[in-house]
Every structure is written in structure tokens, then in C-alpha cells.
Structure 1
């Protein structure tokens, strides 16, 4: 049997000019996660990372926790998150001026609650193929590239391996829904539940893959660290 730990990146820099980088809270979340992995005494054979900066930063911090035993990092763009800005703008174009004003568009980046509500509506429309744009990957393409990448990793890495995938909530929700045989709608709903720097664990063999942990935070489950638990 082999193990894949799906790790959501640490908290990104919401509300700043560059969202795609870890905040200081995000870096501390991942340092705690890296220390947790290193303390398990378990060999990590490889870390796969999406190509987004918040994902690669997360992978680098985790690898650095192993010092001279640091596992190699392999970039895999298939684990990039969906383009939320493109989905939001495409969805916004489908609404009336009155609907946009009611939602608070376009000033959502300063209000986490309103932003999350609008993003959930936009993501549902994307999954249901109610919105489209020439430059936007459709849901079926997003799902397909992730599943293909996971299957390739399991096939190429073989047996008795322990791997980490540094990625994002939408990717993790999609993988979990696929493994559990759940609908696409459930996959995107799971996305909203995934904490920053959380662990989702898959166990796989040549002919089967199973979910053994979803959205765990064992590295932050202490009173003095619980302030580091975040969703966004």
C-alpha cells in the first residue's frame, strides 16, 4: 500500500495586491505542518506541487523541515487551482446591474463574507456549465486533468511510497469526490470546508484508492495554536 497526503497550501494573501503568496499566518501554519510531518519519522519519497506560488511555497517549507533528508519537489501544473478571478468575472457578466449591485460587486475583496458567498454562486454556475468563456477551463476539463494526474502519479510511483501533494481546496474537493464516487456538486462544496494547511490522506494499491482522512489539522490541534486555523 502507498499513501498520498493532499495538503492545502497555507493561508494566502487575501485582500492584497498579490493573493498568490503565503501570508505570515500561512507560513507559520505550514512550518507547523512541516514539523509535524518530520516528527512522524516517516520517509516522504516525493512532494508534488502545483505551479502556483502559494503551492510551491508550501511545498518548499515542508521539504525544508526535513533538513538533509528533504524529499525532492516535482512541479505538476495539473494541481493548480481553478482561476477564481476568471470564474468570478465571467459569472458577473451573466448578472444584471441590479444583481451585481446587490451582491456588492466589484468591491468584494474587502469583505470576506460577501466574497465567499459570491464565489460559491459563481463556482456552482461553473460546475453546472451555466457560464463559459473562451479562456476559461470548463469544469469537466479541470476535473479531467486532476484525475489524470493522480492516476499517473499512482501508476508511476508504484508501491510502498509516501507522497505529498501541495495543492488547493478545489483540487482536494474534486479528488475526494472522485474517490468517493460523489457528484461534482459535492466536490465543489467540499472545497469550502478545506482548511488552510490541512491534511487529506489517501491510501492506494494497484487497483484501489481509499480516503482515510479528510481535512485533518493534527499539527494545530493545541490551544496555543488554534488561532492559526483558517479557511481563507
Structure 2
């Protein structure tokens, strides 16, 4: 199964968000997307639904962490995780804690520190030189968005894990930047979605 593609529901969510942003009068100066296929597909559908005359800039810094890599390195297995989403979530969170401990960095393609540093850099790059009254729209994935949010509340792994757990597909996190730095004013807003369309991961 090709996980890195936009599902039918994902297409609906992207279009709903685009229509919402169009109605809100949002016209971004730039649109940035991670390099994963589903991220690029989301950005394209969002642009089309919002009617923006722009092309998304691809920044691999916004790519998601590799959950398969984390699970492959974790020394325990749970057969029920293959069919039970709650069991899978528990296993992933245990594997994430091992990853974030920085005691086993050699076991991973990307350490937790490297992951968080690239998200920090990608966020800085996304808002660089925007100027007053100008917006950037970034299309990414739950782990990356959760870290950007955790960083802005001076949090660490526990905050990242909690935020990652509840991030809704196509949810909107709004960040403002100014002379005092970056401030998160909303996290995971998904009021543009019908309840039946709310999905995670």
C-alpha cells in the first residue's frame, strides 16, 4: 500500500480548507510544501480550491519523520498494532520516546535532534522576509507541525507527543511574527471540516 499519497478523504479535506481560506480572503505571498507526495498533492488541491495564482515552493525541511524507521528500531513488537489503531499508537509513542532519548541515535536514519532542528530551520525560512501584512501558507504533516507548535510554547518532547497525537488532517495552526518573534495564536483549527471528515495522521 502506498501510504505517501493523498486519500479520497484527504482530497476532500484539502478542498474544504481551500474554500475556507478563499472565503476568508486569505491571499498568501508564498505557499510552501514539504517534498512528500501527499504534501505536494495537498498543496496543489489547496491552491486550486482557493483560486490562488501561485505555485508551491517545495522545502524538504517540512517532511514528516519516518515512523517506519522508529518502529523498526524499537526492540519490542505488538502484533495487535497491525490491526488495532490504538495499539499502533501506543507502540509508536513508545518508539518515539526511545528515539527522542538521544541514547540510540545511531539506530535511526534521522535523530530526533536532527528532525527538530530541520523543522526549526524550515519555519524560520518560511517566514523570512515576509514583511507586514504578508502571509505564508505551509503544507506539512502532523509531526512537523506539532514540533513547530511545541517549539513556540517552549516545549519539548512531551508537548510534541501530546500535540502530535491530536493533530487533525488539514487543521490550521496560525503563527504570527513580528519584532518580538514568532507567536502561535491558534493550533489545529479544523472548523472548516464536517465532523465526519475529521481524521488523524
- The C-alpha deviation readout for 1:162-191, integer Å capped at 9, x for no partner, is 111100111111111111111222112211
Query: Are residue 71 (structure 1) and residue 54 (structure 2) matched?
Result: yes
Contact 1:90 1:132 in 2 (8 A): no
Q: Within 5 A, what are the aligned runs for 1:81-92?
A: 81-91=64-74
Which digits, 9 at most, give the CA deviation of each residue in 1:133-156, with x for residues without a partner?
455111111111111121123223
Q: TM-score, normalised by structure 2?
A: 0.93
Query: Structure 1 length normalisation: TM-score?
Result: 0.81
Q: 1:20 to 1:109 in 2, by over 3 A?
A: farther
Partners of 2:3 and 2:89 in 1: how far apart? 15
Q: 1:159 aligns with which of 109, 132, 136?
A: 132
User: What's the counterpart of residue 191 of structure 1?
Assistant: 164
The answer (yes or no) to whether the contact 1:45–1:163 under 8 Å persists in 2 is: yes
Q: What is the aligned partner in structure 2 of residue 56 from structure 1?
A: 40
Aligned residues: CA RMSD: 1.6
Unaligned runs of 5+ in 2: none
Report the equivalent of 1:110. Answer: 83
1:126-141 correspondence runs (5 A)? 126-133=99-106, 136-141=109-114
Aligned to 1:226: 195
Q: Is the CA contact (8 Å cut-off) linking 1:79 and 1:171 kept in structure 2?
A: yes
Mapped partners of 1:32, 1:148: distance in 2:
29
Q: Note the residue ranges of structure 1 that are not aligned, 5 or more in a row.
A: 1-16
Tell me which of 4, 7, 17 is aligned to 1:33: 17
Question: How many residues in Structure 1 have an aligned counterpart in Structure 2?
Answer: 201
**Distance in 2 separating the partners of 1:73 and 1:206:** 27
